[in-house]
Structure 1
Amino acid sequence: MAESINDVKHRIASTKNTRQITTAMQMVSTSKLSQIQKHSVAYEEYVSRVKAVVMHLAQSHLLDSLNSSSNANSQKNGKTAYLVVTSDRGMVGSYNSNVIRETNNFIKEHTPNEDDYIILAVGSNGADFYKKRGANVAYEYNDVSDVPTFKEIQEIVKTVTSMYDDGVFSKLYVCYTHFVNRVSSTFRAEKMLPMDSEAFKEDASNDIKPAEINAEYDIEPDESAVLDVVLPQYAESLVFGAILDAKTAEHSSSSSAMKSASDNANDLISSLELRYNRARQAAITTEITEIVGGQEALKH
């Protein structure tokens, strides 16, 4: 019985240590979530402005004429690329499994033939998943900062757009987890390339309604000069916004997962303490019984 009590006591101490770790990790994730939300709020206004301008151009069919003339080389391949944003670490609940599952469903719906698509992975979890299953992982970027900087994302955008211009793929979707609030996130797959009017029809996440947009433009010095400035900004803003959004959802998921782990540890500690008290009580009762029995034996 004494050994059993010691075992339970050891499990209580071990679980309390685990609770301390998960509670600390929850506090860290919550702090990171607060930091990145401040960046996200400020960035949303910029993104909405850039999207509005590009949507104007799309409705004016300037993007369609640009794609037909300048992207002929990229259209030869015909493959679709999926830029999948996951985390580089674990202990984020179902964050990674959800975005990978939803991405796989999206891929099956749009490109069921494995030879027709490639994977561009941002985050080691997604890269490892697809490489283990023999998928064509054409690009991998790991160790994105907890609060990503625009400079980081420019490297990703530059590589991806170069691959598109070189004809590695002809269509690109950005697949990531959209942060709704601290208890809810949703999957998104946004078409980034080619930048044409069709891309905006597929972008269900757009908050700007076509009815609010006036598509008439007076352009100076010319169309190509405007597009040369606006389109790179749009590509960068879309990818940066997606990764920033995904990182926000990641920190939220991590915070929730660590809170659940701490709550489970509390429940386990309560259960173990009850078992420990019962075991002690049983041991004390046994000892008292043995003492009383010994005294009665001495009387005879």
Structure 2
Amino acid sequence: MPSLKELRARIGSVKSTRKITSAMKMVAAAKLRRTQLSAEAARPYAAAMRRMMSEAAAAVGDAPGLPPLLVGTGREQTHLVIVMTSDRGLAGGFNANAARAARNLVRRLQAEGKTVRILPVGRKGADMLVRDYGDLFIERLPGSSGKEVPFSAASDLGDKLVALLSANKFDVCTLVYNRFVNVMSQVPTELQLVPLTSGANDDRKAPDAPIYEFEPDEETLLARMLPRNLAIQIYAAMLESAAGEQGARMTAMDSATRNAGKAIDRLTQKYNRTRQANITNELIEIISGAEAV
């Protein structure tokens, strides 16, 4: 049985942990409000960009010389998987869920005989995948680390993808990230970035599809806007991931704080029982000694 001194030390240690987890919960809650508003504000803009690119793609049809960002390389052999996680832990299953979704995607592609390359964005995801798929990494990029997500980070990643595509390093690019639903739920999501999933064929077949006129012409518009659209889709995913990280961390720290409170109650009860038992033993010894005299 632990001594009173040991129990007091354990109670003090758990109380210190509870203060830390409670502070982390409040910090995550403050950051969540900001990141959630940013993610929700980006959704309609990203959806509008996808819709506009779909309409332009439907207008050009199967014209020759279309940008690779729209039609790809014409092959589907080499797949680039971007795994978006955070640089920090203590966020429940946030990073593990994204890494698991990426691992399942890689296994599915390899079972189909595809060549897979991985680009992890965020230290935690890279650490989880490096043991099994470290030889597939082409680079390791830092995540947002809980800070404000600058658009330049998405733009730089988009430029890197364009350069890799121009160098024929991949044929298809898929982004795996956690889409923010609410504080309790972040859904691992796969988003194909290259080639663009436009749904152009469905638009052409629909009898009541609207007719658009583009200025400048569709080819020029696509050449200019596709890189911008790529950066916007990446940026929207980064905002979703940042909001999901803060939501998962707030939930995890709230659970840890409540568990610490329960542990303190159990240890305090054990401390009181041990102290009472020690006092009782001392009284018995005193009474036994007095009777012996």
Q: Could you say whether these structures have the same fold, taking a TM-score greater than 0.5 normalized by the shorter chain as the test? A: yes
For residue 286 of structure 1, the aligned residue among 281, 284, 288 is 281
SS in 2 for 1:185: strand
SS in 2 for 1:233: helix
1:78-121: CA deviations, max 9, x gaps?
Answer: 30101110111111111111111112112222342686010011
Indicate the larger mover: 240-249 or 129-138: 129-138
Aligned pairs for 1:184-199 within 5 A: 184-197=185-198
Confirm or deny: 8 A CA contact 2:173 2:194 kept in the other structure: yes
Indicate the larger mover: 101-110 or 152-161: 101-110
Partners in 2 of 1:115 and 1:49 — Cα distance? 32
Q: Which amino acid aligns with 1:226?
A: L
Q: Cα distance, 1:258 vs. partner?
A: 1.0
Confirm or deny: 8 A CA contact 1:123 1:142 kept in the other structure: yes
Aligned pairs for 1:169-208 within 5 A: 169-197=170-198
Partners in 1 of 2:244 and 2:81 — Cα distance? 19
Aligned pairs for 1:144-155 within 5 A: 144-146=144-146, 147-155=148-156
Equivalenced residues, count: 286
C-alpha spacing 1:59/1:70, structure 2 compared with 1 (3 Å): closer
Confirm or deny: 8 A CA contact 1:77 1:168 kept in the other structure: no
Q: Cα distance, 1:216 vs. partner?
A: 2.3
Q: Which amino acid aligns with 1:65?
A: A
C-alpha spacing 1:200/1:269, structure 2 compared with 1 (3 Å): farther
Match of 2:216 in 1: 221
For residue 232 of structure 1, the aligned residue among 205, 227, 235 is 227
1:113-141: CA deviations, max 9, x gaps?
Answer: 68601001110122233332233111321
Partners in 1 of 2:43 and 2:201 — Cα distance? 18
SS in 1 for 2:187: strand
Q: Which amino acid aligns with 1:173?
A: T
Q: Cα distance, 1:31 vs. partner?
A: 1.1
Confirm or deny: 8 A CA contact 1:74 1:166 kept in the other structure: no
Q: Cα distance, 1:281 vs. partner?
A: 0.5
Confirm or deny: 8 A CA contact 1:121 1:127 kept in the other structure: yes
Confirm or deny: 8 A CA contact 1:192 1:199 kept in the other structure: no
Gaps of 5+ in 1: 202-209
C-alpha spacing 1:295/1:262, structure 2 compared with 1 (3 Å): same
Q: Cα distance, 1:227 vs. partner?
A: 0.9
SS in 2 for 1:60: helix
Match of 2:83 in 1: 84
Runs of 4+ with deviation above 6 angstroms? none
Partners in 2 of 1:283 and 1:263 — Cα distance? 30
C-alpha spacing 1:279/1:143, structure 2 compared with 1 (3 Å): same
Confirm or deny: 8 A CA contact 1:180 1:186 kept in the other structure: yes
Aligned pairs for 1:1-300 within 5 A: 4-62=3-61, 64-65=62-63, 69-71=66-68, 74-75=73-74, 78-112=77-111, 116-133=115-132, 134-146=134-146, 147-197=148-198, 214-298=209-293
C-alpha spacing 1:53/1:218, structure 2 compared with 1 (3 Å): same
C-alpha spacing 1:9/1:236, structure 2 compared with 1 (3 Å): same
C-alpha spacing 1:47/1:77, structure 2 compared with 1 (3 Å): closer
Partners in 1 of 2:261 and 2:78 — Cα distance? 51
Confirm or deny: 8 A CA contact 1:12 1:269 kept in the other structure: yes
Partners in 1 of 2:138 and 2:29 — Cα distance? 34
Confirm or deny: 8 A CA contact 1:114 1:135 kept in the other structure: no
Q: Cα distance, 1:69 vs. partner?
A: 4.2
Confirm or deny: 8 A CA contact 1:141 1:156 kept in the other structure: no
Confirm or deny: 8 A CA contact 1:120 1:139 kept in the other structure: yes
Partners in 1 of 2:285 and 2:121 — Cα distance? 68
Confirm or deny: 8 A CA contact 1:175 1:189 kept in the other structure: yes
1:254-284: CA deviations, max 9, x gaps?
Answer: 1111111111111111110000000010011
Partners in 1 of 2:128 and 2:233 — Cα distance? 24
Indicate the larger mover: 263-272 or 227-236: 227-236
Partners in 1 of 2:90 and 2:197 — Cα distance? 39
Partners in 1 of 2:66 and 2:37 — Cα distance? 41
When the two chains are superposed, the root-mean-square deviation of aligned CA atoms in Å is: 2.5
User: What is the identity percentage for the equivalent residue pairs of Structure 1 and Structure 2?
Assistant: 30
C-alpha spacing 1:130/1:75, structure 2 compared with 1 (3 Å): farther
SS in 2 for 1:189: strand
Confirm or deny: 8 A CA contact 1:81 1:172 kept in the other structure: yes
C-alpha spacing 1:171/1:115, structure 2 compared with 1 (3 Å): closer
